[in-house]
Chain A
């Protein structure tokens, strides 16, 4: 855990309420007028040079959306969103779609540089240990994984468009397609038509339907049969423009025996207004395939008084369509004013496996309602849920989960562990698990704990000479360790720092 010291140093340097990524890039932007109508959808589709079938698909979603009501079951409160007061499309003027690195607007390159996102192929993600640098406490006591490779391919999405995707050529050699979804719709229509909305149907829920109508960009990954993707893939989402919403759509397909690990990161400028982010992510794993999807969500959370911040309403679902397939979600949620997000797995194939590892940190006036669904349909399917919620300040942090075994899901197994940690006495942690087994052979286990960082624990750590803030960082890092270990090394160190920064100012 070399990150502990880094965390501490970092926390020291940062002022309370200082969101590190809150800057704004000054770049001329082309926007759709505010509001949502068939006309706007035609405008987006035209901007993206989409084929007719895509436009029809969007319009169908829009018509469906008009008949839907916003869901109210989550434990979050916010003023009613005016969906006509949002720009549904915004793109840097210099850039209407992805291009080669040499052609990317230098202002955009500088933005990503500031965010620590490598767009040059020789660079690696910021915060990642250099390859030659040995893990601390190496040798017989080393508990860290051996760091494998620093190379990560990045798709950079800025407001409504993907500005560049790196390592495309090298990935293509392995047969892997990694590009923006807009490009995939134009270049690989058969694949898109086959898989898009096959996991999250157009009419799935209010926000997913809205996304289907207006999604602007996102990533597309296709790993063909038997291929192990040669590097980590990642998408970095950045909201920049005022008054815009970001509606990304990501589709990842792993064919028989394929493997891919995908990372997602996101940030936004600091603003007084609330901005909307409604994404849909679909994963499809065929026989013996494995998809590992990791998120570090760091949207602007609002200020210390709860003003501003991103409303994050996300539908993420994976379909273990093939036998022996495996999908694993790992998320570190530290940002957003409101998070509404339940990355789920449909365990359709026999012997398929789903995993959900989550760390959700809320501080200030943040509200998180997040969890997962594990739907066991196939025989001998297994799922595992490890959720760690940390609430500080005046925040509310809810784990909401559903595990169900259908009639044919013989020998379905689930293990769920939900732990909550409270810092201070003004915040709340809630656990809402649903379990349902229609097959008598199903075995579900559920463990839940809620604890407060005890004064005794803090006193003990401080008695060893560790100052208060560092003592809390140490205890929190220990609490989330099970989940941090599931993250790719590229993200683990960053995630650990982020968690502690998010809890900055929670002591006192």
Chain B
């Protein structure tokens, strides 16, 4: 589903190269964890997948279902089924969460040539999805992410992910700032999205989240490259020995 080939990318503003020849394949139906120390390029990778303008791809390619997405803008990528759950979701003052959900869902439907959802159907879907995330409907009247606690913001991200039904979910440090109860709720939300035609990329610093979202593959990112791949036992090894061992091996 996702194939990244020899990707090189730099920050537009100052030319710093962050991704330096990264190769990665994630198959449909798979949950892939991307781990790595601070500054290894994990968040950058998620932004580049989503099409953020702050980065220039200088070499290599990103194929999504066999086709390059480099020329697509963020909205086009989203409509094609790529979703990024942000580590720090942005506040949108004055725009009720419910309204935002409606616009996003219907814009994606429009891009795919589908009819917009009627309000009763929309409400039904939102209510059902909110309930599984133990979200209060009152929260949906509030402006998106404005004054939300860390946990509320992450739940709102998962809610959007559930409702938009993407094919490739990229989750950037979704576990940061969550207490253990919230973590479980969020992990359940992600697990409920596991499907044969969907791939989930979980970016995380710690093994903790992977106890709840058990990955099929684990990739270690260091200095803008995948330096080691393995199964879930790799995450445990990292937890026990830290990154130093893996980095040493690669060097």
Question: Contact between B92 and A478 (Cβ–Cβ < 8 Å)?
Answer: yes
A474–B73 Cα distance when bound, in Å, is 18
Cβ A463 vs Cβ B84 within 8 A: yes
Q: Which residues of A contact B140 (CB under 8 A)?
A: 141
Contact check, B104 vs A466: say whether CB atoms are below 8 A apart.
yes
Within 8 A of A (CB), among B86-103: 86, 89-96, 98-100, 102-103
Q: Which of B103, B123, B160 contacts A5 (CB 8 A)?
A: B103
Is B107 touching A143 in the complex (CB atoms < 8 A)? Answer: no
Whether the Cβ atoms of A457 and B78 lie closer than 8 Å is no
Alpha-carbon distance A365/B28, docked complex (angstroms): 52
B99 contact from A4, A455, A460, Cβ within 8 A? A4
Q: How far is the CA of A171 from the CA of B177 in the complex (A)?
A: 61
Are B141 and A141 neighbours in the complex by a CB distance under 8 Å? yes
* Contacting residue for A465 out of B86, B108, B137, CB 8 A: B108
A391–B83 Cα gap in the complex (Å)?
32
Q: Across the interface, do A463 and B74 meet the contact criterion of CB distance under 8 Å?
A: yes
Structural contact, B86 and A460, CB atoms closer than 8 A:
yes
Q: Does B195 have its Cβ within 8 Å of any Cβ on chain A?
A: no
Contacting pair B96 A1 (CB below 8 A):
yes
Q: How large is the interface on B (under 10, 10 to 19, 20 to 34, 35 or more residues)?
A: 35 or more
| Cβ–Cβ contact A465 & B164, under 8 A | yes
Chain A residues near B79 (CB-CB < 8 A):
465
Is A254 interfacial (CB 8 A cutoff)? no
Interface residues of A in 233-249 (CB under 8 A from B): none
> Is B103 within 8 A of A470, CB to CB?
yes
Instruction: Assess the B95–A465 pair: CB atoms within 8 A.
Output: no
Inter-subunit contact A471/B95 (CB<8 Å)? no
**Interface segment out of the listed B46-54, B60-68, B213-221:** B46-54
A140-B123 Cα distance, complex, nearest whole Å: 10
Please determine whether A460 and B103 come into contact, CB atoms closer than 8 angstroms: no
Please name the residue on chain A nearest to B161 by beta carbon.
A464
Scoring A residues 107 to 131 as 1 if CB is less than 8 Å from chain B, else 0, what string do you get?
Answer: 0000000000000000000000000
Chain B residues, CB < 8 A from A141 = 98, 123, 137, 140-141
Contact present for B108 and A1 (CB under 8 Å): no
Between A137, A462, A470, the greatest number of chain B beta carbons within 10 A of the residue's beta carbon is seen for A462
Cβ-defined partner of A478 (8 Å) among B74, B75, B143: B143
Distance A11 CA – B86 CA, assembled complex (angstroms): 29
Question: B111 in the interface, Cβ–Cβ < 8 Å?
Answer: yes
Evaluate whether A465 and B98 lie within 8 angstroms (CB atoms) in the complex, with A138-B119, A459-B74 already known: no
Of A82-90, A289-297, A479-487, which binds chain B? A479-487
8 Å CB interface, B175-228 against A: none
A141 to B54, CA, bound (A): 37
- Give the distance in Å from the alpha carbon of A158 to the alpha carbon of B84 in the complex: 54
CA of A140 to CA of B91, assembled, Å = 23
A457 near B99 (CB under 8 angstroms)?
no
- B74 neighbours in A (Cβ, 8 Å): 459, 462-463
Whole-angstrom distance between the Cβ of A196 and the nearest chain B Cβ: 40
Q: Which residues of A contact B84 (CB under 8 A)?
A: 463
Q: Tell me the bound Cα distance from A423 to B102 in angstroms.
A: 25
Find out whether the CB atom of B102 lies under 8 angstroms from the CB atom of A471.
Answer: no
Interface assignment of A272: CB less than 8 Å from any CB of chain B: no
CB <8 Å contact, A137 and B99 = yes
**Whole-angstrom CA separation of A477 from B50 in the bound complex:** 25
Residues of B within 8 A of A459 (CB): 50, 52-53, 74
Encoded as 1 (CB less than 8 Å from any B CB) or 0, chain A from 170 to 192 comes to 00000000000000000000000
A5 and B75 CA atoms in complex are apart in Å by 17
A425 contacts the other chain (Cβ, under 8 Å)? Answer: no
Chain B residue numbers with a CB within 8 Å of A101 are none
Q: How far is the CB of A465 from chain B (nearest CB, A)?
A: 4
Determine the chain A residues whose CB is within 8 A of the CB of B78 once the complex forms.
462-466
Q: Is the CB of B95 within 8 A of A478?
A: yes
B95 touches A477 (CB 8 A): yes
**Given A137-B98, A478-B94, residue A467 in contact with residue B107 (CB < 8 A):** yes
Question: Which of A4, A457, A465, A481 is the one whose CB lies under 8 Å from B111?
Answer: A465
Bound Cα distance from A168 to B91, whole angstroms = 48
Decide if A477 touches B141 in the complex (CB within 8 Å). no
Partner of B92, one of A4, A5, A467, A474: A474
Does residue A475 face the partner (Cβ distance < 8 Å to B)?
yes
**CB of A136 within 8 A of chain B?**
yes
| Complex: chain B residue closest to A456, CB-CB | B90
Is A16 close to B, CB under 8 A?
no
Highest count of chain B CB atoms <10 Å: which of A140, A141, A481:
A141
Contact yes or no, A464 B104, CB < 8 A: yes
User: Residues of A contacting B164 with CB < 8 Å?
Assistant: 464-465
B7 to chain A, nearest CB (A): 19
A5-B103, A138-B119, A459-B52 known; A465 and B75 CB under 8 Å?
yes
- Cβ-neighbour of B90 out of A1, A460, A467, A477 (below 8 A): A460
Contacts of B54 in A (CB 8 A): 455
Give the interface centre of B52, B84, B99, B111 by most chain A CB atoms within 10 Å.
Answer: B99
Complex Cα spacing A140 to B84, Å:
30
Give the CA-CA distance A140 to B92 in the complex, in Å.
Answer: 22
Select A475's contact among B86, B92, B107, beta carbons within 8 Å.
Answer: B92
Please give me the residue from chain B that is nearest to A457 by CB atom.
Answer: B90
- Contact call A457/B119, Cβ cutoff below 8 A: no
Jot down 21 A-B pairs with beta carbons below 8 A, ordered by A.
A1-B99, A136-B119, A137-B119, A138-B119, A140-B137, A141-B140, A459-B74, A462-B74, A463-B51, A463-B74, A463-B77, A463-B78, A463-B86, A464-B107, A464-B164, A465-B111, A466-B78, A471-B75, A474-B92, A475-B95, A478-B94
Query: B interface vs A, CB < 8 Å?
Result: 50-54, 73-75, 77-79, 83-84, 86, 89-96, 98-100, 102-104, 106-108, 111, 119, 123, 137, 140-141, 143, 160, 164
**Additional pairs, 9, CB under 8 Å, beyond known A137-B99, A463-B84, A466-B75:** A4-B99, A455-B54, A459-B53, A460-B90, A464-B78, A464-B160, A478-B95, A480-B94, A481-B95
